[in-house]
Amino acid sequence: MHLRILALLLLFTYFMIFPQQNAWAMHIMEGFLPVGWCVFWYVLSLPFLIVGILSIQKVVKASPGTKMLLGLAGAFAFVLSALKLPSVSGSCSHPTGVGLGAMLFGPAVMSVLGCIVLLFQALLLAHGGLTTLGANTFSMAVVGPLVAYGLFRAGQRLGLPRWLTVFLAASLADLATYVTTAIQLAVAFPAPVGGVVQSLVEFLVVFAFTQVPLAISEGLLTVVIFNFLVAHNWQQLEELRVVSREV
C-alpha cells in the first residue's frame, strides 16, 4: 500500500506541476542521429535488454511481492527523466531516475525498465524518439544503472554511510548518462576542427551547467525515497539483498 501511494504521488506530481508542452527538448530527439548510428546503438543495447528480461522473470518468480517495487522504480525513472531543461542542440538535460531501480534490482532489470520508460516518453510525450531509442537506452538504461549499481555495492563493501552510498550512486549515474550522451553526439557529429575530441569537450561543457545541479538534486531525492523504502519495506529489501541486519 505504501508503494502504491508513493508511485501515484510521483505521477500526480509530474502531470499536475509539469503539464505537457510541445517540447523540442528530448533525450536525443527523433531523427537527429544518422541511420548508421541508430542501428549501432540498438544492436549494442539489445544484449542488455535480453539479460534484463530474464532477470525480471527470475526476480518476480523468487519474490512475487516485488512487483509493486518494480512499478515504483519505473515510475520514479519516468517522472524524473521527463523533467527536461533545454541544453545542447538535439538533446536536453534532466534527471534520469535510474539509480534507484539499479540499486534495488541490479543494472540488468533497470535496463528493461529504462527502455520501457523511454518508449512511453517517445510515444506519449514526444520526449526522445523511436529511431534514437537504442542510443537513449544505452546511455540512460544501460550505462547509468551499471554505474549506480557498481558504486552502490562498492560503498556497501567499504562500509560507507548508507545515505552517502545512495547519493553517490544516484548522482554519478546521472552524470555518467550524460557523459555517454555527449560521446554519442560527438562521434555522430565531429567538429570540423578537432574532430570527435573537440566536439565531445563542447558537449560536456554545455551539459555541465545544467546537469551537475540536476545530478546533485537527483542524488538527494533518491536518498529520501530510499530511506522511505527502508522504513516501510525492509523485508522486501532484505529479500533482494539490498540491505541486511548488519548494515
pLDDT tens, residue by residue, 115-146: 999 999 888 887 888 999 999 999 999 999 99
Q: Which of 41-45, 72-76, 237-241 has the lowest mean pLDDT?
A: 237-241
Q: What integer pLDDT is reported at residue 91 of this predicted model?
A: 52
Q: How confident is the model at residue 13 (pLDDT cuts 50, 70, 90)?
A: very low
Query: For the residues 189-206, what does the mean pLDDT come to?
Result: 88
Q: What are the counts of helices (DSSP H) followed by strands (DSSP E) for the chain?
A: 10, 2
Q: Has residue 9 got a pLDDT over 70?
A: no
Q: pTM of the full predicted structure?
A: 0.85
Q: Has residue 173 got a pLDDT over 70?
A: yes
Q: State how far the Cα of 117 lies from the Cα of 2, in Å rounded to an integer.
A: 22
- H or E stretch including 86? strand 85-86
- State pLDDT tens for residues 154-165: 999 999 999 999
Q: State how far the Cα of 229 lies from the Cα of 234, in Å rounded to an integer.
A: 7
C-alpha cell at 171: 548522482
Letter for the amino acid at 97? G
**Phi, psi for 23 (deg, rounded to 5):** -95, 125
Q: What integer pLDDT is reported at residue 188 of this predicted model?
A: 92
Q: Which of 1-5, 72-76, 93-97, 189-193 has the lowest mean pLDDT?
A: 1-5
The CB density around residue 241, as the number of other CB atoms within 10 Å, is 8
Give the long-range contacts of residues 151-156, CB within 8 A, separation 24 or more.
152/102, 152/103, 156/247
Q: What integer pLDDT is reported at residue 86 of this predicted model?
A: 60
Q: What integer pLDDT is reported at residue 20 of this predicted model?
A: 40
Q: Has residue 167 got a pLDDT over 60?
A: yes
